[in-house]
A and B are shown apart, each in its own frame.
With several copies, the nearest count.
Chain A
Amino acid sequence: MIKLDNVTKVYKGDVVALRNASVEIAKSEFVFLVGPSGSGKSTFIRLLNKDQTPSAGRIFVAGKDIGELSSWKVPYLRRNIGTVYQDFKLLANKTVGENVAFALEVIGRPRHVIQTQVPAILDLVGLGNKAGNFPHELSGGEQQRVSIARAFVNRPLILLADEPTGNLDPATSVGIMQLLDKINKTGTTVIMATHDRGIVDRMRRRVIELDRGEIVRDQVRGVYE
């Protein structure tokens, strides 16, 4: 499903965020990405949906080298990949409902589909009563859950989640992890960057650990450290 072939990402100012990373992730896998702050987790995730381009190496998603993708095809790649960003990236001038609906509008879903799916997914993340609020009217954790809802509402093949529980209390986190687990069981590949030792240790899934841009550990049924 996803393959990184000797990928290096150097930001301006010679910051090596990822160094010679080679990884293969199969369909329906659930992968934790761990490592200290600044070790390259977000970079790893942003390379997969072409938000960033690698400085060297090749990346394959669903068998295609995304480095060869012409720029007008990138939106279509992204529609198959739901992403929960670390800073949520919600549209400030749209309500919660419109934010989630936007991911469906973009792919041209008919209105009646949008009108049934959006409330359903919002209920699932516990925000059924906030559909009409704007993002700045939500608490941090609520915004994070909107972001999760939007990433998943069009049932993507791949779900990238960058610290999706960073702003959530332990109880809510457990709920979200159960949701991700359920999504994963339906066949979606899930890659999740996290700092939450408790979650990683409890779930016991594949763990890839980064340190200063290098993959220092890749362990099946691993723990946080």
Chain B
Amino acid sequence: MAIKVDYVVRETSTNLFRNLSITLASILTVMVSLFLLGMALTVNLGVNKATQRWQGGIEFIVFINPGATTEQVGAVDKALRESPEVEKLTYVDQNQAMEEFRSLFANQPELIDTVTPDILPPSYRVVPLNKSSDTVEALSEQYRGKPGVKSVVSATETIKLVQKLSGTLTVFMYVVAGVLLGASILLVLNTIRMAMYARRREIEVMKLVGATNWFIRVPFMTEGLVQGVIGAGLAIGLLVLFRPFYERIVPDPTQFPLFSGMVPASSELFGIYVVLAFIGCVIGTIGAGVAVTRFLDV
């Protein structure tokens, strides 16, 4: 049986407005949980980008002069490869360096345009066997000043700390966001259930007059969906509003150059927004779906 659209629209909006305050509460919770999730995703993205060179235990990087001769490079290469203290070695050529640069400065396209791969230094990323700071220091010192080597950069205490803290922080935010997501599903579910409970006599009467279960269900389901979607929309709106603020609280890149990559680009954020919108729909649908099924089957 075709349910008329205007009937559904009418019923849904009546219900939404009748229980305005509880509807608001569940929209708010959806919003907060999705906002938190969005923040966690953003921070995570930023930190991963900012520290991408340093992932996987890399303790120092040997940058090669772009103008170095093949022999010079060969010597450095050989020395690194044959060193018994190096556990793992990765070579990043100029094109890969360009890739990295591009992603690090995705929010500053004007910067990317001024750079071509041939001015970027290729580099060796070194994971040493022994990670204590003294031996790392001694090892990296061996390559500093070698012919063809532009510079040797070690992972600082700061970088390690940022990785650790932000790792902890994002896990924490994911957990909180996850709990809140659970809470919001529960809440949408309950809003709908309460709405149905408050109208249980009405529903009983509708059934006695010959309404099918779907005829009764659909407006309630739309109600849940609307709550999820509005909640997600508000969360995205908040994230957009919050972005300048976030960019401001990221430690000043001139003071901490490490953080220049922590400000994500619009395209990356857009991906996050799409994910949030999708989750909003899912929350609404699941919440309402469970509510109507459980209620009408009794």
Contacts and interface: CB of A to CB of B under 8 A. Distances in A.
Direct chain A–B contact by Cβ atoms under 8 Å: yes
B2 A103 contact: no
B95 interface: no
Nearest to B297: A71
Contacts of B199: 93
A204 to B, nearest CB: 31
Nearest to A154: B210
Contact of A150 (B201, B209, B211, B215): B209
B208 A108 contact: no
A83 B208 contact: yes
Interface string A161-196: 000000000000000000000000000000000000
Contacts of A150: 209
A90 interface: yes
Interface stretch (A5-13, A15-23, A24-32, A73-81): A73-81
Interface residues of B, number: 20
A153 B7 CA distance: 19
Contacts, number: 50
A109 to B, nearest CB: 10
A144 interface: no
Contacts of A91: 202, 205-206
Interface string B183-212: 000000000000000010110111111111
A75 B202 contact: no
B201 A106 contact: no
A57 B201 CA distance: 29
Contacts of A92: 201-202
B206 A79 contact: no
Contact of A108 (B2, B209, B213): B2
Nearest to A103: B209
B1 A102 contact: no
B208 A103 contact: no
Given A91-B202, A91-B206, A75 B2 contact: no
A106 B202 contact: no
B205 A106 contact: no
B210 A106 contact: yes
Given A75-B215, A76-B210, A91-B202, 10 more contacts: A75-B210, A78-B208, A89-B205, A92-B201, A93-B199, A102-B209, A105-B7, A106-B206, A106-B209, A150-B209
Interface of B: 1-2, 4, 7, 14, 18, 199, 201-202, 204-213, 215
Closest 5 CB pairs of A and B: A78-B210, A79-B210, A75-B212, A106-B211, A75-B210
